[in-house]
Amino acid sequence: MDHFHYRDGVLHAEDVNLEALAAEVGTPFYCYSTATLLRHYQVFTSALGALPDPLVAYAVKANPNQAVIRTLARAGAGADVVSIGELKRALAAGVPADRIVFSGVGKTAEEMRAAIDAGIYQFNVESLPEAELLSSVAVEMGRVVPIVFRVNPDVDAMTHAKISTGRAENKFGIAIDTAPAAFDLARSLPGIDALGVAVHIGSQLTSLDPLERAFERVGELIAQLRAEGHDISRADLGGGLGVPYLSDQPEPPSPAEYGGMVARITRDWNVRLTFEPGRLIAGNAGILVSRVVRLKGGRERNFLIIDAAMNDLMRPSLYDAWHDIQAVRQPQGDPMVADVVGPVCETGDTFASQRTLPRLDTGDLMVFRTAGAYGAAMANSYNSRLLTPEVMVSGDRWAIVRERPSYEDLIGQDQLPEWLSG
Ligand code: LLP
């Protein structure tokens, strides 16, 4: 459920009229709903209600805006970070360090130092060389840091290949059958304390089966590690639960179904569980608002050219992703069929092909739904377009939570070498 709905014929974000908002902010812009973010967080945490003291570490990569992280942090969320930048964002937004987990295959010594210094909850270590480096950094700092090994269970998550992470050929984690050897090695590394196992097999999962298979393997591994004398007190089950992108398609498994499955599979594990949901929390809490620049009738197709482009929302061009489109003014008249495209000079700058749409014309406002996760987070300024601003709504209040930069900002980032200046 979300808080974007028509009222008096105009789409609203909670109690804020999007037509009025667009007039103030200009288009395109992202708009987030506080109530929806909080609702998703609460639905997820209550779905885990049967578990003792789980840590829900919001995957900051989904939407790293300070306002989003702080909203969730105030509700009790931790953070899953994958870079020093995300670590700093999480800390700045008020996430307590002891609720932060650090994932990712390429952590550098500098990133490790910063996270050790902050005192994070755990490192999710993805290879033996990483474990060795982390140990030596920790020893230099006179510390022993808690880690879990991320294992790769070789399970097909049955999602888009580019966001699938749990197959043997993917770069993530250590092969699950080599985990016991990794725990043996960890014993000889004085700077780390290997406390458990992490797994994350992919994103936008629409079936629980692959997750269940991966978790079962983790359960077997925990039993084996304990039999070999390792003390296992933690397991991190990652993120990945899908969200509905198509309004008329069957819903992905609910958080309650997921929570039920987790409770069943992990019943005898006796560990503290961590979860890293990103999309589930932020996806349907955000929309991208755009204005139609013009309608272009082609010989073969009609093109609806809008002022948002692939640089603002990359998911359709990267993953052929579907985002529902709605008109801000409740549609009147017959639907139309068109390709929805942006102004960028690439054919891939296509949001939707041959889509049946509400009737829209030059100057009309429209929105892409489910754009709160991996939307603004992945935006860039290709074609020298300005980074998309972000707005957060709470009831009848709204605030710009990321400004649209100016063209001076954009150009000012470049510097001329001395031989070209003057
Ligand atoms: N934990 C780890 C270790 C991850 O790699 C990810 C996402 C998450 C948690 C959060 O997963 P979620 O709950 O959001 O599915 N840009 C792509 C998605 C990339 C996901 C990367 N990892 C997209 O727009 O679909």
Residue whose CA lies nearest to ligand 1 atom number 24: 374
Distance of CA 373 from the midpoint of ligand 1 (Å)? 9
Mean pLDDT for the stretch of residues 336-359 = 97
Distant-in-sequence, close-in-space partners of 183: CB < 8 Å, separation ≥ 6: 149, 194, 225, 228, 230
Distant-in-sequence, close-in-space partners of 160: CB < 8 Å, separation ≥ 6: 204, 319, 320, 321
C-alpha closest to that of 368 among 295, 309, 300, 416 = 309
**Rounded Cα gap, residues 326 and 21, in angstroms:** 16
Say what the pLDDT of residue 25 is. Answer: 98
Atom of ligand 1 nearest to the CA of 315: 24
**Rounded Cα gap, residues 203 and 114, in angstroms:** 27
Q: Is 62 in the pocket of ligand 1 (CB under 6 A)?
A: yes
Q: Is 374 in the pocket of ligand 1 (CB under 6 A)?
A: yes
Mean pLDDT for the stretch of residues 368-376 = 98
Q: Write the pLDDT tens digit of every residue in 94-122.
A: 999 999 999 999 999 999 999 999 999 99
Task: Tell the burial category of 407 from Cβ atoms under 10 Å away from its Cβ (0-12, 13-18, 19+).
Answer: exposed
CATH topology for the 104-275 domain: TIM Barrel (3.20.20)
Burial per residue of 289-298, b for 16 or more beta-carbon CB atoms within 10 angstroms, e otherwise? bbbbbeeeee
Q: Is 173 in the pocket of ligand 1 (CB under 6 A)?
A: no
* 266 vs 160 pLDDT, higher one: 266
Torsion of CA 40, 42, 43, 46, to 10 degrees: 160
Q: Is 153 in the pocket of ligand 1 (CB under 6 A)?
A: no
Q: Does 4-31+283-412 carry CATH code 3.40.50.300?
A: no
Distant-in-sequence, close-in-space partners of 139: CB < 8 Å, separation ≥ 6: 190, 191
Is residue 1 over pLDDT 80?
no
Distance of CA 350 from the midpoint of ligand 1 (Å)? 23
Atom of ligand 1 nearest to the CA of 124: 3
Distance of CA 206 from the midpoint of ligand 1 (Å)? 14
Say what the pLDDT of residue 159 is. Answer: 83
Say what the pLDDT of residue 356 is. Answer: 97
Distance of CA 227 from the midpoint of ligand 1 (Å)? 33
Q: Which pTM was predicted?
A: 0.97
Q: Write the pLDDT tens digit of every residue in 129-182.
A: 999 999 999 999 999 999 999 999 989 888 888 877 888 888 889 999 999 999
Which one from 345, 411, 416, 420 is the annotated catalytic residue?
345
Say what the pLDDT of residue 62 is. Answer: 98
Q: Is 277 in the pocket of ligand 1 (CB under 6 A)?
A: yes
Residue whose CA lies nearest to ligand 1 atom number 22: 203
Atom of ligand 1 nearest to the CA of 198: 3
Q: Is 388 in the pocket of ligand 1 (CB under 6 A)?
A: no
| Residue ranges per structural domain of the chain | 4-31+283-412, 104-275
C-alpha closest to that of 32 among 67, 84, 58 = 67
Say what the pLDDT of residue 364 is. Answer: 98
Active site residue 345: yes
Residue 318's CB is within 10 A of a number of other CB atoms, namely 15
Q: Write the pLDDT tens digit of every residue in 316-345.
A: 999 999 999 999 999 888 999 999 999 999
Q: Which of 37, 40, 61, 351 to mutate to test the pocket of ligand 1 (most atoms within 8 A of CB)?
A: 61
Say what the pLDDT of residue 96 is. Answer: 98
Report the Cα–Cα distance between both ends of the chain, in Å, rounded: 57
Q: Is 200 in the pocket of ligand 1 (CB under 6 A)?
A: yes
Mean pLDDT for the stretch of residues 395-409 = 98
Is residue 251 over pLDDT 90?
no
Distance of CA 62 from the midpoint of ligand 1 (Å)? 7
Say what the pLDDT of residue 317 is. Answer: 97
Residue whose CA lies nearest to ligand 1 atom number 20: 203
Say what the pLDDT of residue 237 is. Answer: 98
Q: Is 279 in the pocket of ligand 1 (CB under 6 A)?
A: yes
Q: Do domains 4-31+283-412 and 104-275 have the same CATH topology?
A: no
Return the ∠ at Cα 68 (arms to 240 and 121), rounded to 5°.
Answer: 65
Q: Is 166 in the pocket of ligand 1 (CB under 6 A)?
A: no
Is residue 373 over pLDDT 90?
yes
Q: Is 105 in the pocket of ligand 1 (CB under 6 A)?
A: no
Distance of CA 142 from the midpoint of ligand 1 (Å)? 33
Say what the pLDDT of residue 90 is. Answer: 98
Residue whose CA lies nearest to ligand 1 atom number 16: 374
Q: Is 101 in the pocket of ligand 1 (CB under 6 A)?
A: no
